[in-house]
Structure 1
Amino acid sequence: MGSENRAPVTVVGLGSMGSALANAFLEKGHPTTVWNRSPEKAEALVAKGAVSAATVAEAIAASKLVVVCVLDYRAMREIVDSLGDAPAGRVIVNLTSGTPEEARQTAAWAAERGVGYLDGAIMATPPMIGSEHALIFYGGPKAVYDEHASALASIAGAGTYLGEDAGLPSLYDVALLGMMWTTWSGFMHSLALVGSEKVKAESFLPFAQLWFEHVVAPEIPKIAEQVDRGTYPDGGSALGMQAVAVEHLVDATRAQNVDVALPEFLLDRAERAIKQGHAGDGFAAIYEVLRKPQS
């Protein structure tokens, strides 16, 4: 693909993700300049047509759009601060992992230096970058995002702008990762339970998949709707009744000599929700406990 109508891009940081980002820009025809503290990491990209800058100043001078993917926010700020005066007219898209507060602080830091800034969170593995399955969240000034959305589409078919708040991408990131980890942990706890009686995971798997597909997953949109409304209809299975079943889970877990921390956590939150008056509500009423820190 020719690069005549493709905006130049600079990629700073060539770890596995940064290299994947640079490679995607190259494949979509963007003149791509790269820089990394260890120059040898640029060699494969140079062989594909990238330009390896000798210094970070040279790299940032090469393109208006600068995509940064380094170890952390402090490393990103140190790199840009090392340039002295902010490069005129540059836009930094920071795809470094961090917290929402770090993202907001870095957005303020960039504004003080007159640098256009978008914060992003990558919800993909390096091999997915550049495909329609890659998802990247962005936050920051809409005008900045709109100006560079076409170029950014080269690294993720599902680039999603979340709004002016630079912290939202990181918040979505940790929220989705938390959902993933807790789901996996719940499944592994189930495997530990049946495994205590020498049941193989592959034997239990078909039933877990059917249960998730037909019972667990269909409830997720309903829970989201209930949370937004702030009402939690019981659906024929009130929390007070379900808490008894959760207590059975705790007892069975202990009897099978399996780690009891996960079901005990669940039982504690269910009991706290009941004490707050939600015994007759549905299971989603536990949200009212989870959304506030324990006093």
Structure 2
Amino acid sequence: MTNVTVLGAGPMGRALARALLRHDHHTTVWNRTAGRAAALAADHARLADTAEEAVAASRLVLPCVIDHAALRDIITPVAATLRGRTLVNLTTGTPAEAREIAEWAARHGIDYLDGVIMTPAGTIGGPGAVILYSGPEHLYQAHLPTLRALGGTALHLGDEAGRAAGYDVALLDLFWTAMSGLVHAFALARAEGITATELAPHARGISDLLPAIIDDFAGRLDDDRFDGDVSDLRSAVAGMINVLRSAQAHRLDTGILEAALTTARRPVEAGYGADSFARLARTVAVHGE
């Protein structure tokens, strides 16, 4: 059993605390809005009145708050109390923010790991949870027996503090652009008199294509091989134009489609029209390669 502090009692913070409590870790919880943490008392969590009291209660401190601005507001005043302790930051942010907090922690004698939670709060403590970590491996290994209580898959991705957040933003880039495409597809189908239920099985068919495409593109990108042996950018642009025109005819918002078409056209205009769609990963910068 380990003494652990969770800073933040939103849905994810409460899930983290409950997972730790189920594994009999002595868990202290603090939240800026005290009422949010109150329900955890029934699970035998210790509720701290202040952030400093919460930090002082444990050698291992897990902050999980809304953003890095909130994180800085909480940990900056208690830097002296955090000295000599381990901060495992589970607050979602950018790689640059992770590096910034890591540098701040080093200046104050605080051990630091950055973590990103890749699955919803309901998975925490169960086999479906996925949490990625980066920072000194010896810290990860030292605290892994406790971190395992959070469930599922725990992966250490390297010593560089921003690496886990780098995975996070890249994967969320894929997720949110896919989600945007999905809702737009449903809107376009509805405009054509096709119900969402009618479209759904065919939409799943599109998603079934993605695993093979992901592996194919990964190999091409790592090998710098962009031959359009299956399909090329010119044909992709032609197909995207058809979708755009159809959406415009129904007066749908086409901002995402226009942005995608602009991104695809740029390498075609630069002479890469016969290349694979994977080429876009090298040309997405605003000014191209």
* Structure 2 CA distance for partners of 1:74 and 1:49, relative to 1, 3 Å: same
Map of 1:78-97 to 2, 5 A cutoff? 78-83=73-78, 85-97=80-92
Specify every segment of 5 or more residues in structure 1 that has no aligned partner in the other structure, as ranges: 1-5
Alignment partner of 1:294 is 2:287: yes
- 1:246 aligns with one of 231, 240, 248: 240
Secondary structure of the structure 1 residue equivalent to 2:80:
coil
Distance in 2 of aligned mates of 1:106 and 1:241: 45
Which residue does the alignment assign to 1:144? 139
Deviation at 1:261, TM superposition (A): 2.5
* Structure 2 CA distance for partners of 1:245 and 1:88, relative to 1, 3 Å: closer
Distance in 2 of aligned mates of 1:238 and 1:22: 50
* Greater than 6 Å deviation, 4+ residue runs: none
What code does the residue aligned with 1:58 have? E
* Structure 2 CA distance for partners of 1:88 and 1:271, relative to 1, 3 Å: closer
Map of 1:97-108 to 2, 5 A cutoff? 97-108=92-103
Contact 1:191 1:201 in 2 (8 A): yes
Q: Count the aligned residue pairs.
A: 288
Contact 1:57 1:83 in 2 (8 A): yes
Deviation at 1:240, TM superposition (A): 2.0
- 1:50 aligns with one of 34, 45, 49: 45
Distance in 2 of aligned mates of 1:193 and 1:46: 49
Map of 1:149-160 to 2, 5 A cutoff? 149-160=144-155
What code does the residue aligned with 2:38 have? E
Alignment partner of 1:234 is 2:234: no
Specify every segment of 5 or more residues in structure 2 that has no aligned partner in the other structure, as ranges: none
Alignment partner of 1:278 is 2:278: no
Give the alignment's TM-score, normalised by structure 2.
0.92
Structure with the largest fraction of helix? 2
Deviation at 1:108, TM superposition (A): 0.4
Deviation at 1:143, TM superposition (A): 1.2
- 1:262 aligns with one of 232, 256, 271: 256
Distance in 1 of aligned mates of 2:15 and 2:198: 38
Contact 1:273 1:288 in 2 (8 A): no
Give the alignment's TM-score, normalised by structure 1.
0.90
Which residue does the alignment assign to 2:122? 127
Secondary structure of the structure 1 residue equivalent to 2:125:
coil
